[in-house]
């Protein structure tokens, strides 16, 4: 059933609020606004507060979300957002401060920013961190601007190329291009590693950096990482580590120790802050010491005052900085959540994340092995990639159909058709926050769909059967989005 829109139960004169008559003189609107901005008629729905609450509550219930559904969206790390993070972010001392407030009045907030910079440096083995970037892709842009500034400061202007594995997230090549680099794709070998010979052949004095995702977007830990790092460094290039998917690494290995020079984190993945509609993201950037002077301004810093007391401040005195990349200091509320997450888990808890993320992904991979083709037979890290090429060949059922059928079984589908180098890819990331019962239920659904594909492929090809709207025209939804209600 298609439910009525809020506009459909609009009734003239109904409002959500009744305000008292003003007790000050009312200026005519014509004196406040230019005539061109004044509308005589504004066709907005006239509804009560209850209508509004029901409308938005219903809409929210139509969404799949991590609070209602297992959400194994590979590479996106849709894990639980602990409620204690939300409580901390709503503390008035954090939630109600203003960015123009005097530093002396926001010492607690600055202290938190400073400590979070340090914690992220510690878990990644890097030397300096900026929390400013407002998303993973924005962190990449910031990191690659730092790479460019570093080479330029050394007078090394011949470096025009950035090498990127063919399995990379699409944001990597887009970022390198935006920063003005020529992108060269490096193939993967048949074990899912970066093809070392192809990498070596591509190296030269004009290579600025390699952007490499660790663990890779196949969910694999590259077996030649040390050789890769050495080869890039010997050629005078820098290694950009895409650390968006750090769950598997937490407490286990540090990108800085592996040889990465600059990297970003996704607080909204690894550090459990909400994604997308749940809140703005954050993509902090971490660098090794030689790149630190180029980080955005300001960084949170700490100094001793004349009277011996410690104070925190924003350090704008950084002449080689690439400048600002975000208004004020970034998405502060997300910093509070990530800080709370790290503090509530501690060292042991962070180590357990790495272990459990890998255990959960391998458990699920083993349960599905046999029913679907695996991209790689190796132990995976935080995620693994299945292929529905067998189903497609024998029954015509595609990865898209399997994803849609999962909705009928009550699960959010995994990422599909990515990485693009895998045919009929289904990329599954369970995350460490799921119980074995949930993983088993999902495995049973995937196995049932594999059986259906053989016995009754039509039911899979026409899924979902349980949703209000069945298959969307996804191309039209992107090209011609219809986002606006217009009065009849
Ligand atoms: C999610 C992701 C990104 C981009 O992060 P956004 O916050 O979505 O911009 C980059 N690289 C990898 C490997 C990712 O998984």
Ligand 1 proximity of 395 Cβ (cutoff 6 Å):
no
pLDDT confidence tier of residue 279, bands split at 50, 70 and 90? low
Q: Identify the pLDDT of residue 335.
A: 98
Q: Which CATH class is domain 83-343?
A: alpha beta
CA of 135 to the centre of ligand 1 (A): 8
CB 107 within 8 A of CB 311: yes
Q: Identify the pLDDT of residue 4.
A: 67
Ligand 1 proximity of 175 Cβ (cutoff 6 Å):
no
Ligand 1 proximity of 245 Cβ (cutoff 6 Å):
yes
Domain(s) of CATH 3.40.640.10: residues in the chain? 83-343
Distance CA 124, CA 205 (A): 28
CA of 136 to the centre of ligand 1 (A): 5
Q: Mean of the pLDDT values across residues 184-197?
A: 96
Q: Mean of the pLDDT values across residues 359-384?
A: 97
Q: Identify the pLDDT of residue 7.
A: 74
Distance CA 486, CA 45 (A): 11
Ligand 1 proximity of 241 Cβ (cutoff 6 Å):
no
Q: Whose CA is nearest to atom 2 of ligand 1?
A: 244
* 276 has pLDDT over 70: no
In order of 57, 235, 306, 456, 476, the CA distances from 482 in angstroms are 21, 50, 61, 35, 9
Q: Identify the pLDDT of residue 472.
A: 85
Q: Identify the pLDDT of residue 16.
A: 85
Domain(s) of CATH 3.90.1150.10: residues in the chain? 353-477
- For residue 168, give the ligand 1 atom closest to its CA: 13
The predicted-structure confidence for 154-182, as pLDDT tens digits, reads as follows 999 999 999 999 999 999 999 999 999 99
Q: Mean of the pLDDT values across residues 200-216?
A: 97
User: What residue has token string 């955005």?
Assistant: 296
User: What residue has token string 């059922």?
Assistant: 397
Backbone angles phi, psi at 411, to 5 degrees: -120, 145
- Greatest extent of the chain over all pairs of C-alpha atoms, in Å: 80
State what percent of residues in the chain have pLDDT above 70.
98
Q: Identify the pLDDT of residue 2.
A: 57
Least confident of 22-26, 120-124, 310-314, 316-320: 22-26
The predicted-structure confidence for 457-476, as pLDDT tens digits, reads as follows 999 999 999 988 889 888 99
Q: Identify the pLDDT of residue 3.
A: 64
- Reduce the DSSP state of residue 464 to 3 states and report it: coil
Q: Whose CA is nearest to atom 5 of ligand 1?
A: 136
* 278 has pLDDT over 60: no
Q: Identify the pLDDT of residue 271.
A: 97
Residue 152 CB partners (closer than 8 Å, separation 6+)? none
- For residue 171, give the ligand 1 atom closest to its CA: 10
Q: Whose CA is nearest to atom 15 of ligand 1?
A: 75
Q: Which CATH class is domain 353-477?
A: alpha beta
* 107 has pLDDT over 70: yes
CA of 217 to the centre of ligand 1 (A): 10
* Mean pLDDT for the chain overall: 94
Pocket probe mutation, ligand 1, options 138, 169, 178, 383, max atoms within 8 Å of Cβ: 169
Residue 20 CB partners (closer than 8 Å, separation 6+)? none
CA of 184 to the centre of ligand 1 (A): 20
State what percent of residues in the chain have pLDDT above 90.
85
Ligand 1 proximity of 361 Cβ (cutoff 6 Å):
no
């Amino acid at each position: 059933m298609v439910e009525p829109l809020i506009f459909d139960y609009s009734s003239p004169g109904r409002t959500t609020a009744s305000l008292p008559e003003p007790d000050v003189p009312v200026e005519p609107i014509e004196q406040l606004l230019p005539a061109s901005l004044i509308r005589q008629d504004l066709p907005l729905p006239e509804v009560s507060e209850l209508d509004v609450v029901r409308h938005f509550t219903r809409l929210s219930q139509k969404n799949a979300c991590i609070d209602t559904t297992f959400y194994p969206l590979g590479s996106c790390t849709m894990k639980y957002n602990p409620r204690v993070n939300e409580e901390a972010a709503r503390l008035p001392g954090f939630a109600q401060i203003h960015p123009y407030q005097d530093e002396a009045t926001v010492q607690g907030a600055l202290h938190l920013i400073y400590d979070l910079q340090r914690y992220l440096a510690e878990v990644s083995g890097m030397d300096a961190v900026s929390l400013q970037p407002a998303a993973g892709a924005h962190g990449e842009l910031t990191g690659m601007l730092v790479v460019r500034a570093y080479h330029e400061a050394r007078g090394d202007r011949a470096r025009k190329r950035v090498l990127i594995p063919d399995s990379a997230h699409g944001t990597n090549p887009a970022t390198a291009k935006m920063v003005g680099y020529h992108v060269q794709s490096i193939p993967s070998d048949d074990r899912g590693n970066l093809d070392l010979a192809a990498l070596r052949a591509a190296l030269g004095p004009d290579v600025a950096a390699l952007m490499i995702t660790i663990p890779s977007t196949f969910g694999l830990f590259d077996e030649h990482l040390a050789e890769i790092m050495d080869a890039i460094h010997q050629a005078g290039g820098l290694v950009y580590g895409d650390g968006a998917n750090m769950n598997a690494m937490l407490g286990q290995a540090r990108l800085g120790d592996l040889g990465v020079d600059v990297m970003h984190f996704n607080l909204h993945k690894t550090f459990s802050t909400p994604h997308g509609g749940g809140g703005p993201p954050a993509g902090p950037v971490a660098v090794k010491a030689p790149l630190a002077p180029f980080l955005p301004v300001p960084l949170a810093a700490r100094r001793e005052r004349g009277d011996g007391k410690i104070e925190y401040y924003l350090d704008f005195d950084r002449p080689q900085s690439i400048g600002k990349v975000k208004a004020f200091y970034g998405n502060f509320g997300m910093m509070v959540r990530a800080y709370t997450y790290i503090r509530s888990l501690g060292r042991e808890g962070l180590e357990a994340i790495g272990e459990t993320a890998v255990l959960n992904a391998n458990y699920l991979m083993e349960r599905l092995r046999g029913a679907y083709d695996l991209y790689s037979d190796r132990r995976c890290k935080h995620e693994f990639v299945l292929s529905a090429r067998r189903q497609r060949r024998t029954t015509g059922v595609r990865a898209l159909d399997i994803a849609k059928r999962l909705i009928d079984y009550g699960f959010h589908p995994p990422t599909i058709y990515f990485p693009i180098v895998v045919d009929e890819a289904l990329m599954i990331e369970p995350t460490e926050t799921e119980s074995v019962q949930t993983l088993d239920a999902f495995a049973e659904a995937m196995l049932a769909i594999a059986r259906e594909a053989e016995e009754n492929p039509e039911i899979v090809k026409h899924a979902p059967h349980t949703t209000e709207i069945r298959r969307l025209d996804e191309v039209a939804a992107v090209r011609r989005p219809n986002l606006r209600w217009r009065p009849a």
